[in-house]
Chains A and B, each alone.
Chain A
Amino acid sequence: MRAKNGKVSTRAVIDRQDFQQLFDHLSAQGYQLVGPRLRDNAIVYDELSAVTDLPIGYVDEQEKGSYRLTKTAQPTLFGYGLGPQSWKKYLFPPVVRLWQAQRHNGGFDVIPEDHEPRLLALIGVRPCELKAIAIQDRVFMGGAYADPIYQAQREQLFIVAVNCGKAGATCFCTSMDAGPRAASGYDLALTEILEANRHIFLVDAGSEKGEAVLRTIPQRPATDLDIAAGERIIAQTAEQMGRVLDTNRIKEMLYANYEHARWDQVAARCLMCGNCTQVCPTCFCTTVEDVTDLSAATAERRRVWDTCFSLDFSYIVGGSVRASPKARYRQWMMHKLATWIDQFGSSGCVGCGRCITWCPVGIDITEEARAIRSDSEDKRFTPATGGRKHEHA
């Protein structure tokens, strides 16, 4: 395995009992650690100070519109899957003040906001999440104009990825080439190995920064047995994948089906709540809010996460461009799986399954895509018989 800088990556093993030292070292370097924590019966991302802050022993069960956590006796640090939040909240905050303005006789002055980035160590970034960050990198930094808030924060990250030891029922990262193994974009990537007599982390360094950190904490070179154990876990996770999305010519397939009857059917169920866009790790749309204090002496502009499911989203003089629920659902899915490819060179979906789990009415993007494909107006996109063997029961 090669790291992105071309050097052979370091493969090492850290014992569970030494794992706290990774935290300590990163903290000493000035990083604020953030990662999974238990809150309100869900895994959320928040500040961490000790390994024991992690939801140790917790496992989750996810399905369409359903999420349950259970505490087990297992001492796993990363035995659960994804919660509702993604890392975008750190790089792309849900609400951010862009600037303030102060009124004075007839005019006003604009006071820029100082968006000082924090040194953040993201602990427990799943492979699909890494891919989501790479996708948002292209959105926010790949064009003629970069988002300075995103860019500044992006440059201050230390990323500790965790390869997945278990796939959830709503997971389909294998379909999106996004997991269950971290491919790139991390400083360190861990595979948690819990066996009868040992609890270790197989570690890959993906950057010089990562290697430097690895050198400073107790570790030993990985043996072939360690590596094989890690491979088994990842292979097993890939096997467990709960769902499948057929991405073969998916862009062309959807472009050929703008008027498919399925859009009406899914729109009849969709509540237009926008949950899917909030939990999606790549959704990037924002709106702005202009507010003043009561005396109108100061004003400010805030950037807020928006959703293409709202009527206001496409409003122009005369009315909204996408007035019907059908058009709004179609816009979201069409963007995620098709137009995104034209815009940014990759799918906007990483197969994390959050939009399936957190949809209050259990709409499943893989099911919708399959329904459209199987009854495509253009028969070239109809799956061959037998092509449905991966279909989720």
Chain B
Amino acid sequence: MNTLEPLLAKHPFFQGLESEYLKLITGCASNIRMNAGEFLFREGEDADRFFVIREGSVKLELFSGGRGPVTIQTIPEGEIVGYSWLFPPYRWVFSGRAVTPVRLFVFDGLCLRGKCDDDPKLGYELMKRFSHVMMGRLQASRVQLLDLYQVR
């Protein structure tokens, strides 16, 4: 487990996080690889994890009858995937699938939630990071709603 800590520290999502916290959350993380096309998680399943992309990219998909899987967004290296582990009912609302071979850190959601509950300062620190990502994706989605490149 100790070997993960320096790797985590280098990831943009955890940049600047106090080492004491880094140590704490390392306990909830593991390192995995997946092949292109493999599912990180599927819509409707229990969301008990989140992913930090070290290499490769992941897409979020939604299945729509007749259209098949529709890609909502692709998430590149250096970003994170999954917020459903944070909120009840802890269920994935999209599917996550590797676009390329990927290397990821996986965090155990239950473990991390427990640590955040125990130490609200850590909780706040992580929530800031998550909400920053969420805000960026929300803003982008809103701009996409305008369908800017379409001719009216």
Contacts and interface: CB of A to CB of B under 8 A. Distances in A.
A144 interface: no
Nearest to B151: A317
Contacts, number: 4
Interface in A142-170: none
A368 B43 CA distance: 59
B152 interface: yes
Contacts of A319: 152
Contacts of A317: 151
Contacts of B151: 317-318
A318 to B, nearest CB: 6
A229 B151 CA distance: 68
Interface residues of B, number: 2
Nearest to A318: B152
A277 to B, nearest CB: 29
Contacts of B152: 318-319
A17 to B, nearest CB: 70
Interface in B124-152: 151-152
A111 to B, nearest CB: 35
A318 B152 CA distance: 5
A137 B92 CA distance: 68
A318 B149 CA distance: 10
A319 B151 CA distance: 10
A318 B151 CA distance: 6
Nearest to B148: A318
Interface string A314-343: 000111000000000000000000000000
A128 to B, nearest CB: 45
Interface in B76-109: none
Interface string B53-90: 00000000000000000000000000000000000000
A314 to B, nearest CB: 16
A130 to B, nearest CB: 47
Interface in A285-338: 317-319
Contacts of A318: 151-152
Nearest to B152: A318
A317 B150 CA distance: 10
A215 to B, nearest CB: 67
A224 B152 CA distance: 72
A133 B152 CA distance: 42
A303 B152 CA distance: 29
B44 to A, nearest CB: 40
B146 to A, nearest CB: 10
A318 B150 CA distance: 9
Nearest to A319: B152
B9 to A, nearest CB: 46
A317 B152 CA distance: 8
A63 to B, nearest CB: 45
A318 B146 CA distance: 12
A335 B113 CA distance: 58
Interface string A93-123: 0000000000000000000000000000000
A154 B152 CA distance: 44
A359 B20 CA distance: 73
Nearest to A317: B151
B142 to A, nearest CB: 18
A317 B151 CA distance: 7
B152 to A, nearest CB: 6
B145 to A, nearest CB: 15
B148 to A, nearest CB: 9
A319 B150 CA distance: 12
A346 B83 CA distance: 58
Interface string A261-273: 0000000000000
B28 to A, nearest CB: 49
A318 B148 CA distance: 10
Interface string A189-231: 0000000000000000000000000000000000000000000
B151 to A, nearest CB: 6
A11 to B, nearest CB: 65
A317 B148 CA distance: 12
B97 to A, nearest CB: 35
Nearest to B150: A318
A173 B151 CA distance: 48
A306 to B, nearest CB: 24
A317 to B, nearest CB: 6
Interface of A: 317-319
Closest 3 CB pairs of A and B: A318-B152, A317-B151, A318-B151
Interface of B: 151-152
4 contacts: A317-B151, A318-B151, A318-B152, A319-B152
